[in-house]
Structure 1
Amino acid sequence: MSFDQTQQQRTQLFLNALSDQGTVDELGTGNIRDLISNVLFPGHTVLHTRAKYLLFLPRDFSRLASKTVDALVDEGKKAEGRRIKTLRQRYEAEGLRNRGIIGYTTGSETKQLPSGSYWGLLRQLGVYRGTGSLWDYYRDLATHNAALAQRSILHSEEDDEQRAPSGLWAEYPNESPKYDGFSLSPDEAQWLQERFLDSDDSPEEERSLTTWLLEKGGKDSDREWISGLAYVWEHPLTDQFPARTAEVMWLGCDVDQLLFGARILYNYLCAHHRPDKGEAREALLDRYKNAMSEWRSEIDKDPPRPTLLTELDQWGQGRLGTIQASPAARLRWRTTLHFAQRWQQLVTSSADLLVDPNAHEHIAYRERTLKPGRARLAKPYDRLQGWGGDSGYSRLDYNWSPAARILDDIHLGLGTPRVEVVREDAAATEVNA
């Protein structure tokens, strides 16, 4: 299949939701998450780990020499396998976990190789200058390599070093042995900074937060990079963010605050209806009772404004028009909004959502509608046998976590002055670095 850029972005968003447990969407609100994420941190997905993959991939893939698509697919997979092996060897002594090595346990047999995860971002940044998918690249490269072989059996060493047609990849910095693994040289970091900045041609007030957080990076910057924030709205300079983008950020923050209660109740009901009784079930019930109590206290202290979902709908309808969303996507938006509106009514009117049958039915009906024949909250509840908890149970950060790690890598390479936010027992302290 050959996807245009819009189709590829939609497909990637769908794959992300299926691939990462942190974004499991039991109640069908992922379309809100995805629309907002792509305004704040366009091109980023939960599958991204480190910035240097944006250099590894063009370096490895521009050297592929096979002459058929099938052979190139195999050669590309082997190249990614070698890169995984090199990274494993580099970090083995320090520990492999949390390094961001994609495929560090399964190697090239991992379900989602870096090429599949990063291809959309490579295109968005203009690192890959072709117009198609990874499969289209293999097809174009096969044609190019076959034509090259037809012209001459012999080729220069220079041809070996740069196999791909010169127009398919942006000119990238040379590798430096001093900066191995995921560390970026100053030249590499500056090159990536420029790619991100050049790719954002939005009006000043609508620029992405990625762009704003990168634009003043450098060792002489008067704007420190703040590392370790759990959510981007915790940044001390939110009042300086691009105005329209900041509005979307706060809208996302407020909507998630409201809908997190629905995710708590969903998990509580799963625990409540779990057929196998025992300590594990009781522990889950206590966990979600406490979570609901804490959430309710937050909501009572700072209630969602009555116009919140109207504001969300006005913005969302406009955004769907901008990206030329399909009729099916617009229908999903309307059903999601209806679910959220009814939830807000229940939050306002119910004294105790944990025992409110209307709230219970609202959550159960939503899941049955989304997953007919597969819903957990459907009699006889056999799908809940041995259920382990925490299904879609998380606060949304709208892809801040993967974006922040990439930004952190780039700022380290640039030498930007930094502040580390260290979290201990939910308390945050700042450490200048």
Structure 2
Amino acid sequence: MASVIGWLDHSEEQQRKMREVIDLFSETDSRDELGIGAVRDAFSDLLFPGLSTIQTRARYFFFVPWVYLDLERRRVPAGQIAQKARQRQLELIYALEAGGESGGVIGIDARERLKRLPESVYWNGLGVFDLRRYQGGLGDYRRSIGRFYRQVDAFAGYEAEQIDIERPTNWHPALPPRPDGLFEETTLALTGEEAHFLRERIVTADPGSLLAHYLLAGQPVEGTIALPWDGVDFDGLPDELARRVRYGRWFSELFWGAALLYNLLLAEEATRRELQSGGAERVDHYRDRLDDWVGLVAARRSEFEAVQRDDFWRVVSHTGARVTDKTRRFLDQWFDLALAPGGSVATNRSAHRLIGDREQGLKRGLARLGNPRQLEIWGGLSGAGQLNYRWGTGRVIVNDIIDGLTDA
């Protein structure tokens, strides 16, 4: 029977996490094969809150509210609002195309077959940055729209009687206005007003994030900056942000070795069992990358060893991340092996056993190591990329906003 994930009445946060899990399974090089997603997500939220790996451009943070504000203005009922919103978001594809856009346009290839609409991609971020005032999931918002209309009508009565109450709204009241002709022709470029507003919202939401730091620096981020800390002067960071970034970098760099070793072990076993062609080249590739990683650890050993591990875990736990005891033990054991003097994890039997036991504990019958059936269908690359905590999205969002400010 095919596996089906039903979107029941889970919380907004649960739905967001589930969507991110699904998204990561479609990104082979960043897939979480060893069950460390809770730690990865903790640092992603600390450094780049409100973003996700499938967001494309900053102006969608306005497109989604503009769509729903228009539907609210027209009093579209709850039973029709999802379909009307979908139609508007499909119209945006053609409007952006008419404006000369292609890259970054959600649905440019799928068009009418689009399943993941911008509204679901940006819903969490809209709440994090306070562009969305409705506190709840997208489905709850739609179902509650009739009650909202009644609240607006009641407010009109109070206003007529000069009773001082706050006007009900699902969106930030100072949101820049929707441009005329938006659904006929538009672009992904932010206006100066939009860029100023979005920067203010992001910085206000979490001034201690790396995302806010890049925005306040006011400089575009070069595409050659591959990792978020590569463009950072640590001495110029506030103490708490420097702590977040250092721990995030430490975890990213140390855990990278575990991801590479896992792929090396898969390549070696697949080659030994003659399950795939090109096995020897793949083994050499992962050995070379693991050797490079060993060199990285050796070069930065003093920094790595200076990290207070209890404080590292304290930072992770303060985000609300649910890291199981098994995951913490696995990672602490890996850190010990990675920082042990002499030798290489590539030939360390304890390291091999740790990785194998971890995969078996997580996947059971679907584990690849020691399982020829699963190993035979391995694609040759499973989560071997270094963790960058949504940096690809962060760099684009920062540059969109900086460009808008510059062009204002």
Normalising by structure 1, we get a TM-score of 0.78
TM-aligned CA deviation for residue 85 of structure 1: 2.9
2:311 is equivalent to residue 314 of structure 1:
yes
Indicate if the aligned counterparts of 1:69 and 1:138 stay in contact, CA closer than 8 A: yes
Q: 2:187 aligns with which of 163, 181, 186?
A: 181
Indicate if the aligned counterparts of 1:276 and 1:386 stay in contact, CA closer than 8 A: no
TM-aligned CA deviation for residue 260 of structure 1: 0.9
Segments of 5+ residues of structure 1 without an aligned counterpart are 150-164, 218-223, 418-433
2:358 is equivalent to residue 366 of structure 1:
yes
Q: Distance in 1 between matches of 2:319 and 2:10?
A: 15
Counterpart residue number, 1:132: 136
Indicate if the aligned counterparts of 2:29 and 2:381 stay in contact, CA closer than 8 A: no
Counterpart residue number, 1:73: 82
SS of equivalent to 1:393: coil
Of 350-359 and 295-304, more deviation after overlay is shown by: 350-359
Q: Distance in 2 between matches of 1:138 and 1:406?
A: 28
Q: Distance in 2 between matches of 1:250 and 1:141?
A: 44
Structure 2 counterpart of 1:167, one-letter code = T
SS of equivalent to 2:221: strand
Indicate if the aligned counterparts of 2:227 and 2:391 stay in contact, CA closer than 8 A: yes
Normalising by structure 2, we get a TM-score of 0.82
2:394 is equivalent to residue 391 of structure 1:
no
Matches within 5 A, 1:201-216: 207-215=208-216
2:126 is equivalent to residue 122 of structure 1:
yes
Counterpart residue number, 2:253: 257
SS of equivalent to 1:294: helix
2:234 is equivalent to residue 231 of structure 1:
no
Counterpart residue number, 1:191: 197
Q: Distance in 2 between matches of 1:30 and 1:308?
A: 24
Counterpart residue number, 1:86: 95
Q: How many residues align?
A: 378
Q: Distance in 1 between matches of 2:360 and 2:31?
A: 16
Matches within 5 A, 1:1-400: 7=14, 10-11=17-18, 13-64=20-71, 65=74, 67-91=76-100, 96=102, 99-144=103-148, 167-170=169-172, 171-174=174-177, 175=179, 180-200=186-206, 207-215=208-216, 217=218, 224-228=219-223, 229-274=225-270, 275-277=273-275, 279-303=277-301, 307=305, 311-320=308-317, 322-324=318-320, 329-330=322-323, 332=324, 334-347=325-338, 348=340, 351-379=343-371, 381-400=372-391
Segments of 5+ residues of structure 2 without an aligned counterpart are 1-7, 154-166
The one-character-per-residue Cα deviations of 1:366-417 (angstroms, maximum 9, x if unpaired) are 11111111111133x2112142222101011112221111010000000089
TM-aligned CA deviation for residue 324 of structure 1: 4.7
Seen in structure 2, the aligned counterparts of structure 1 residues 62 and 17 have a Cα distance that, compared at 3 Å, is same
Indicate if the aligned counterparts of 1:67 and 1:145 stay in contact, CA closer than 8 A: no
Q: Distance in 2 between matches of 1:59 and 1:393?
A: 39
Counterpart residue number, 1:431: none
Indicate if the aligned counterparts of 1:66 and 1:75 stay in contact, CA closer than 8 A: no
The one-character-per-residue Cα deviations of 1:305-348 (angstroms, maximum 9, x if unpaired) are 57567x3443333542x4455xxx24x2x322221222233332
Q: Distance in 1 between matches of 2:248 and 2:232?
A: 18
Counterpart residue number, 1:157: none
- CA RMSD, 1 decimal: 3.0
Q: Distance in 1 between matches of 2:138 and 2:187?
A: 24
Q: Distance in 1 between matches of 2:140 and 2:26?
A: 23
TM-aligned CA deviation for residue 199 of structure 1: 2.1
Seen in structure 2, the aligned counterparts of structure 1 residues 186 and 318 have a Cα distance that, compared at 3 Å, is closer
SS of equivalent to 1:227: coil
Q: Distance in 1 between matches of 2:332 and 2:176?
A: 51
Structure 2 counterpart of 1:234, one-letter code = D
Structure 2 counterpart of 1:264, one-letter code = L
Structure 1 counterpart of 2:138, one-letter code = L
